Amino acid sequence: MTINDERRTMPVQQNQQPYVYRAAPPLPPPPMRRSKGGGPTIAIVATLVLLAILVILGVFFEQHLAATPGIASAQTPPAQSNEHPGQFVQLPLSPTQIDALRHLSSHMQYKQLASMYVARMSLDVELGQLIMVEYTDTTYSSDLDTMVNQLHAGGVIMYEFQMNTFNQTKNDIAEMQKRATFPLLISTDEEGGPYVHRLSHIYGNRISATDIYNTGNPGVATQQGHKAAHDLASLGINENLAPDVDVNLVNGYDMVTRTFGNDPASVIKFAGAYMRAMQSDGVVACIKHYPGLGDAVSDAHTSLPVVNRSRQQIYDVELAPFKAFIQSQNKLDNPGMIMPTDVLMPAIDPVYPAELSHIFMTDILRKEFGYDGVVLTDALYMQGITQKWSMPEAVPPQ
């Protein structure tokens, strides 16, 4: 999936109902024709994207099953000091539907269910499910409606200028989900700190990753992870493009406050506590920026960063957090998504930046580390890519 631009804060152009996760629609009939070229690969990736959505649904579904019979009341969130504490989302299910889903979930794994849906999608729908779109208006627009309703986008990324009040944001997201063919991944970058924050108009500022690390207490990371999940879920956002698991080595471009430490062990300890808390509350984590920007001194939005470290150094430091989280036996440590970025590491691949590199994306991430989840590219219109490749050329390899 694609697109994301962390630095974007300004638009390029110019009776409330509680938000709910919709139950998956009935299985459509199998398509009459299926493209032979590359179809299986597209289907596999589309399955992974839909699987991520079903897992989100499953978290809230299991909360319902653990509650009293019938439609459970919203869980009481931790006390918040923000203006709009919001409420946890509820599935719009009757007791009969819950019983039916309980029976279904005991006989079918999420992957099987996702595969069943994707097997019946047309190629156009499969392709749409691979794209996370952005929009330039400050509220729900006709352009966005076309993307989610007619082009079958799999997700939407929102920026600070599009989230101005609690009610406006919640209503816009509810409309997106209402108009989408399948439930959407709604994402934003809510890292905290001075650089990458999206909910400040609604909840105010939150402390940065470096502030959390400087406390020396992983419990603060846990607390902040729960708080971020609560704030995001209250609006209907089900994916956070965080935490940043770069290992800060040179205090490079805007990395000073975005990282959880200067060594892999610290990053794993603090980012892990944050991610476990957030994912345990039903918000998908997307760790970034694979394979690591901790030694980069330039900004990928304006040029292609080059990291001239040895292969062993990269494995021991930059790649260490990614490998640890992917291979952890604790499922809450396993990121729902990983975001690669525009960085050239000649010791491993002297030709292609990481997110376009078969070596980084397939040989290391998929085969060596064993990652089988969703990969979400960084913004493909950043100049680290566009100075050399066109958008069609920049489509990541599978």
Query: Which tens digit of pLDDT belongs to each residue from 23-50?
Result: 344 444 444 444 444 444 677 777 767 6
CA distance 180 to 388: 35
Out of 122-126, 229-233, 272-276, which region has the weakest mean confidence (pLDDT)? Answer: 122-126
Pair of tokens at residue 294? 């901790």
Contact present, 20 and 93 (Cβ < 8 Å): no
pLDDT band at 253 (very low <50, low <70, confident <90, very high): low
Q: Which pLDDT value is given to residue 31? A: 47
What residue segments make up the domains of the chain, in order of their start?
Answer: 39-386
pTM for the whole thing? 0.77
- Do 134 and 188 contact (CB within 8 A), yes or no? no
Q: So what's the pLDDT on residue 123? A: 92
pLDDT computed for residue 54 by the predictor: 62
Residues 6+ apart with CB under 8 A from 40: none
- How much of the chain exceeds pLDDT 90, in percent? 57
The Cα 391–Cα 156 span in angstroms is 19
pLDDT at 81: 42
Architecture of domain 39-386 in this structure = Alpha-Beta Barrel (3.20)
Please provide the average confidence, as pLDDT, over all residues in the chain.
Answer: 80
pLDDT (mean) for 196-211: 95
Angle at the Cα of 284 (from 305 to 223), degrees rounded to 5?
A: 95
For 32-43, give the DSSP string. S----SSHHHHH
Encode pLDDT of 115-146 as tens digits.
888 888 899 999 999 999 999 999 999 999 99
Of the candidates 311, 312, 310, 329, which has an alpha carbon nearest to the alpha carbon of residue 370? 329
Q: What is the pLDDT of residue 14?
A: 37
Residues 6+ apart with CB under 8 A from 243: 191, 209, 260, 271, 274, 275, 285, 287
